[in-house]
Amino acid sequence: MFPTYLTRVEKHFRIDPDDLPYNIADEIEQAKTSADVRTLVPLTREGIQYLSRRFPPVRNAADLDELPQKLKGGDEFGFSPLFDPALVDACCQRGVFPLTQSVGRGFFIFAPKVHNVRAVCALVTSPCERNAIRGFPFSDDNEGIFSRNCVGLSRKLLKDPEESTRRPCFEVFVNRKEDLFDIFTLIRKQHGENWLCKPLRLCLFHMFFNPEKYSTKIVITAIRRKKYDDRPAIQGTQEVMEGELVAGEVGFLVGDIYSSASGAYCVNGGGALQLCLTGLCMHAAGCRVWDLGMMMVYKTALNCFEMPRMKWLKLAAARCSNSNTSILKYLEDLESGRSVNFLLQTSSFTHNASPNSKAQQKKRLKAEALAKRKAEKESRK
């Protein structure tokens, strides 16, 4: 019998009876070997005219520069029938998120999104450092500063490796080519064919394999159960086996800004672990801003705050030219993997456990029980 925290969890995976077949391995091979991975969505002339009336057309970088001014009211999306790595790169460099939208029958259009507000946090260790970043709150408190304390991590996922007992533990790998398939397959299983659709995946794969062609650098992060040796895994079990992916993320680097795009997990606590380690790794690498796109409840727990559109675009424009050579060098060193606990212990973020975490609640209950027993013992004297 194996520990429950090693149970593979899939109840949160999306099940769509109309889902179309897909092959991530073939997509990766196509992106690796093809010089042109652009995809033109087969729309009718009437369809293009209809979409162009609803969304400002985006054909090139110049259109992206004008997109914020062309958006009316609370509108956020542009439109292009062409998926092109160069256009994806141009979006990222301008703080425009490379999103897509479904138009039915399994087809998606490229829909660059200029968020009305962006969820961001500073990867710094003090208010003084945060105050130096344009667009962030100026105060003496920790508003907008990433806090690992807010992520309730299970201690069972933080154990050190032990060769003699083959203790279950976990490792982090960044930008390993062999992780592409597993990460994108896990994301596809959890979320279905959503905005991270095949045409966009091809663009991201191509950018990953050809980093010298693009200013935007694709980053993939994998968290795996440590594999101690080449012993074959047991098939047909619900236990997460040695070497198996438990959580993963894809994002991109622009200057010293890291943007999360999508992620997935398959063990309880894997999502929280992925978020925490992403923040720690990117801070250690030298990133100073973590962009998480649209605000959601779990992002407020990371201490994100909402940055208005124009402030975000100015921040992205100001920092996109910042050198990230040293950041990429640090991430390159993580290709060989690091123990999860090693990264946590060497983090410059101070760790004060969340008072609402299960571990802290358990500690409080034990302390209360001990105090009660001590009081009862004293009363019997």
pLDDT one-digit tens code per residue, 225-250: 999 998 877 777 899 999 999 999 99
Confidence of residue 1 (pLDDT cuts 50, 70, 90): low
Confidence band (pLDDT; 50, 70, 90) for 23?
Answer: very high
Confirm if 69 and 289 have CB atoms less than 8 A apart: no
CATH number of 117-347: 3.40.630.70
The encoded tokens of residue 247 equal 């959580």
Sorting pLDDT into bands at 50, 70 and 90, what band is 156? Answer: confident
Confidence of residue 350 (pLDDT cuts 50, 70, 90): very low
pLDDT for 241-274, tens place per residue?
999 999 999 999 999 999 999 999 999 999 999 9
**Per-residue pLDDT at 366 exceeds 70:** no
pLDDT at 39: 98
Q: What does pLDDT average to over the chain?
A: 92
Radius of gyration over every alpha carbon of the chain, rounded to an integer in angstroms: 23
- 353 band by pLDDT with thresholds 50, 70 and 90: very low
To the nearest whole percent, how much of the chain has pLDDT over 70?
92
Q: What's the pLDDT score for residue 150?
A: 65
> How much is the pLDDT for 363?
54
pLDDT in tens, 44-72: 999 999 999 999 999 999 999 999 999 99
Of 226, 270, 269, give the one whose Cα is nearest residue 248: 270
pTM: 0.90
pLDDT one-digit tens code per residue, 193-220: 999 999 999 999 999 999 999 999 999 9
* Whole-number Å distance between alpha carbons of 76 and 95: 13
| Model pLDDT, residue 147 | 84
Residue 346: pLDDT over 80: yes
Three-state SS sequence of the chain:
CCCHHHECCCCCCCCCCCCCCCCHHHHHHHHHHCCCCCEECCCCHHHHHHHHHHCCECCCHHHHHHHHHHCCCCCCECEECEECHHHHHHHHHCCCECCEEEEECCEEEECCECCCEEEEEECCCCHHHHHCCCCCCCCCCCCCECCHHHCCCCHHHCCCCCCCCCCCCEEEEECCHHHHHHHHHHHHHHHCCCCCCHHHHHHHHHHHHCHHHCCCEEEEEEEEECCCCCCCCCCCCCECCCCCEEEEEEEEEECCEEEEEEEEECCCCHHHHHHHHHHHHHHHHCCCEEECCCCCHHHHHCCCEEEEHHHHHHHHHHHCCCCCHHHHHHHHHHHHCEEHHHHHHHCCCCCCCCCCCHHHHHHHHHHHHHHHHHHHHHHHC
312 with 95: CB under 8 angstroms?
yes
Mean per-residue pLDDT, 155-182: 94
Q: Quick one: pLDDT band at residue 370, thresholds 50, 70, 90?
A: confident
* pLDDT at residue 359, rounded to an integer: 47
The pair of three-digit structure tokens given for residue 279, joined into one six-digit string: 């923040």
Give the C-alpha separation, 161 to 6, whole Å. Answer: 15
For CATH 3.40.630.70, list the domain ranges present in the chain: 117-347
What are the Cα distances from residue 263, in Å, to 150, 186, 248? 19, 8, 5
